[in-house]
Chains A and B, each alone.
Chain A
Amino acid sequence: MAKTLAEKVWDAHVVRKGDGEGANAQPDLLFIDLHLVHEVTSPQAFEGLRLAGRELRRPDLTIATEDHNTPTLDIDKPIADLTSRTQIQTLRNNCQEFGVRLHSLGDAEQGIVHVVGPQLGLTQPGMTVVCGDSHTSTHGAFGALAMGIGTSEVEHVMATQTLSLKPFKTMAINVEGTLRPGVTAKDIILAVIAKIGTGGGQGYVLEYRGSAIRALSMEARMTICNMSIEAGARAGLVAPDQTTYDYMYGRPHAPQGAEWDAAVEYWNTLRTDDGAVFDVEVDLDADSLEPFVTWGTNPGQGVSLSANVPSPADFGDENAKAAAERALQYMGLEAGTPMKDIRVDTVFLGSCTNSRIEDLRAAADIIRGRAKDPAVRMLVVPGSARVRLEAEAEGLDKVFKDFGAEWRFAGCSMCLGMNPDQLEPGERCASTSNRNFEGRQGKGGRTHLVSPVVAAATAVRGTLSSPSDLEPATATALTGTAV
């Protein structure tokens, strides 16, 4: 029978088929190839193992890093926040006790867990990947079935290297055409979420398909898969292809020699069969897509950057209308205001969505030879220590610093404000992160989700802007990198 990619990966990991059929079926028991661990969602799971006298079944399929709580300044000093420091120390103690590989603050491989896995070559096509973090969907860019789990499930994976799961439905997201200059992967996924809503993907695995997806780099595909969860889908994936293999080849944990050949032969089978049927298909036209930005307090509340702030009256559904009213009030916005008239206080370039080297390059290409709006604060937080080193080797740190941006150490940072990088009440931010929830980036903070190039253009003009709104740069010509 013809199968979708997600179904193939699922079937290859069934340890035990659940009894029964149809609606009454028990969950399948799936083997987990890679378990990523960080400090926030793991302490209670390790403690659970200890209390039950259970062992960590597969330390060799587990890896930990410190990211959510870590400061992005003064990383050579003890963490000032005592509860953060305790949580980090707890992870270190647990990893030592249970034999888990850990990349700590200061280590060249430390960073956001979803940047570290792919960078080390640990994320590979056809795998099952889990982490106690909803943005685990990122790893789906490699054709892996990757999903976020809660702490009880973290403990379950630690003890059994499996998860009990009910099969998902499948949804194809077909993106055909060619992106215009200045339009990026971030705009694709924000447009998808606006189209299907924050609950639209609930119960589904999304497969991103079509010529526009094929043309994207691996890092751009990661940006798209990363935000699958914001559409309610636990996982989203892209079939592996030559772009995937080129990205992986030579990475530390990529297969080598004959193993590489065997792996590629298997990976080549990882695509949706002709004739396989998705439960739902959604089409998006890449040709007409414009830079996209959110105006509200959930990631589905987005519009084209050239549009106006919508009015609650535009929404037919009573819940959507009420949500829009509340969002406008929280965001301090008037319906009908052009999005491009909105002034921001802060620009955040970072997070597991957009903190990889291509994101930094794309933003640097926009600001090179330009001046920052003096009223705007800009934070640049590379996704990992490795990305930071790479950027410095290319001189990008100098571009950001000359522009007037702050060049920070790696971590989740202002995406969720668990460390000192937070917005003040009422402060407005153009952010390359993934969530514009109330208070997400700091109590009372107002977030507009944008792509790295829109973030960079906004830092120049001080108002939400696309690269095409900018005057020509003075010193160096634009290279116009499309991500």
Chain B
Amino acid sequence: MEKFTTHTGIGVPLRQSNVDTDQIIPAVYLKRITRTGFEDALFAAWRKDPSFILNQAPFNAGSVLVAGPDFGTGSSREHAVWALKDYGFKTVLSSRFADIFRGNSGKQGLLAAEVAQDDIELIWKELENAPGTEVTVDLVSKTVQCGNIVAPFEIDDYTRWRLLEGLDDIGLTLQHEEDITAYEATRPSFKPKTLPARLS
């Protein structure tokens, strides 16, 4: 995974709560078997509306999405993160993320930064008053800056460390393979196995 320390880019105000992953990427795009190439799928239904924010310059060149609360609810589809990244977003700011979306972001190097809703409101106003304003998201100091606004954001320490170092999760876990093997030896025999298959 690529390291993430700090990013500066055009902020996109998405004034909406409960942006579920079906909106971020509709199910019809989930039939692909690749991990890339989802930029056209991002917000596909909403992008058919010419007034949608990503259809307006300079927001179409944005890389910092500033959204309402409960971003990424619903389906576990990691395609939502892939689509945001493929479009060019490096970070999403929201006052509350759905658990699975937040986890998926952390695995893929998309920074999900939890910013208080009051600060989100200030950033929205700034971005709407001066379209094209850049937002800097600094993972080292855990702050976001937009114009004169400087606000802290929350992210759990473990995800922050992994993002800063660009660490591969599976590689980290496999360093403890002995512990896994030891655990497996203690697993009760009444617990089920899928193989050999037993059928009705």
How many Å lie between the Cα of A154 and that of B99 in the bound state?
16
Interface size of B in residues (CB-CB distance below 8 Å): 66
Q: Which of B55-63, B85-93, B134-142, B179-187 contacts A (4 or more CB under 8 A)?
A: B179-187
How many Å lie between the Cα of A47 and that of B36 in the bound state?
13
How many Å lie between the Cα of A33 and that of B33 in the bound state?
26
A198 contacts across to B, CB distance below 8 A: 18, 70, 73
How many Å lie between the Cα of A437 and that of B45 in the bound state?
12
Q: CB distance A60 to B33 under 8 Å?
A: no
- Least CB distance, A7 to chain B, in whole angstroms: 18
Closest A residue by C-beta to B32: A83
Q: CB distance B99 to A60 under 8 Å?
A: no
A40 contacts across to B, CB distance below 8 A: 30-31, 77
Q: CB distance A263 to B190 under 8 Å?
A: yes
Closest A residue by C-beta to B23: A438
B79 contacts across to A, CB distance below 8 A: 151
A416 on the B face (CB < 8 A): yes
Given A16-B176, A150-B76; A262-B188 close (CB under 8 Å): yes
B23 contacts across to A, CB distance below 8 A: 437-439
Q: CB distance A150 to B190 under 8 Å?
A: no
- Interface range for A: 35 or more
Given A15-B179, A83-B32, A160-B170; A134-B195 close (CB under 8 Å): no
Top 7 closest A-B pairs, CB basis? A152-B107, A150-B104, A150-B78, A43-B33, A252-B198, A83-B31, A263-B190
In the complex, 21 of the A-B residue pairs with CB atoms within 8 angstroms, ordered by the A residue number, are A15-B182, A15-B183, A33-B191, A33-B192, A41-B78, A44-B35, A60-B194, A101-B194, A108-B199, A132-B76, A134-B75, A150-B107, A151-B78, A159-B173, A252-B200, A253-B198, A260-B190, A323-B18, A418-B30, A435-B20, A437-B22
Q: A59-B195, A101-B197, A438-B22 are in contact. List 4 more A-B contacts (CB 8 A).
A: A68-B27, A86-B33, A134-B100, A417-B27
Residues of A within 8 A of B (CB): 15-16, 18, 23-24, 26-27, 29, 31, 33-34, 40-41, 43-44, 47, 52, 54, 57, 59-63, 68-69, 81, 83-84, 86-87, 90, 101, 108-109, 120-122, 124, 127, 132-134, 148-153, 155-156, 159-162, 164, 166, 198-199, 202-203, 229-230, 232-234, 251-255, 259-260, 262-263, 266, 297-298, 319-320, 322-323, 326, 386, 416-418, 435, 437-440, 443
